[in-house]
């Protein structure tokens, strides 16, 4: 049994597409609605470390708290940015997927294909109409 976790926001199309790509590989992941149940500090730090992108790589800039707090200012330390993400989970970019093959911010949603342990079971078309997996379960490269 493969274990996959997605930090998910059902209001986000990219997050919904990513979840459906996981399901298209035959796996029902553990779904964490991170706005309702955000990760604790240790988990958030581990996610950031496992992604290898640094704290700012997981920070979502197009949110009200980001703008209001002026988080683009270089004065903010990584620890302080993490504090803000814990205080305002909307600052955590999504969806984040964790599998045995890695941890990724799946933007665009097809990034998840790089870390899914099982192949796609059939065709997949994103909500916007873009087909990214063909009927044979193969990724369509554009």
Domain ranges of the chain: 5-133
Contacts of 56 by beta carbon, 8 Å cutoff, 6+ apart: 81
Contact 122, 20 (CB under 8 A): no
Structure tokens at 129: 């109409």
Structure tokens at 96: 């984040």
Tell me the per-residue pLDDT of 81-103, one tens digit each, with 9 for 90 and over: 999 999 999 999 999 999 999 99
CATH number of 5-133: 3.40.30.10
pLDDT for 2 equals: 60
Point out the residues that are catalytic.
Answer: 12
CA dihedral of residues 110, 113, 119, 120 (deg, nearest 10): -10
Contact 123, 139 (CB under 8 A): no
pTM of the model: 0.95
pLDDT at position 51 over 60: yes
Average pLDDT over residues 26-32: 97
Place of tokens 């903010």: 76
């Amino acid at each position: 049994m493969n274990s996959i976790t997605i930090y998910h926001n059902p209001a986000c199309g990219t997050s919904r597409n990513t979840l459906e790509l996981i399901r298209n590989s035959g796996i029902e992941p553990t779904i964490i609605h991170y706005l309702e149940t955000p990760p604790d500090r240790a988990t958030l730090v581990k996610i950031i470390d496992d992604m290898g992108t640094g704290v700012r790589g997981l920070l979502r800039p197009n949110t009200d708290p980001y703008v209001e707090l002026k988080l683009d200012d270089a004065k903010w330390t990584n620890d302080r940015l993490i504090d803000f993400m814990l205080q305002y989970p909307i600052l955590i970019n999504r969806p984040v997927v964790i599998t045995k093959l890695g941890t990724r911010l799946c933007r665009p949603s097809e990034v998840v294909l790089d870390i899914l342990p099982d192949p796609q079971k059939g065709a997949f078309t994103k909500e916007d109409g873009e087909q990214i997996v063909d009927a044979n379960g193969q990724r369509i490269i554009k």
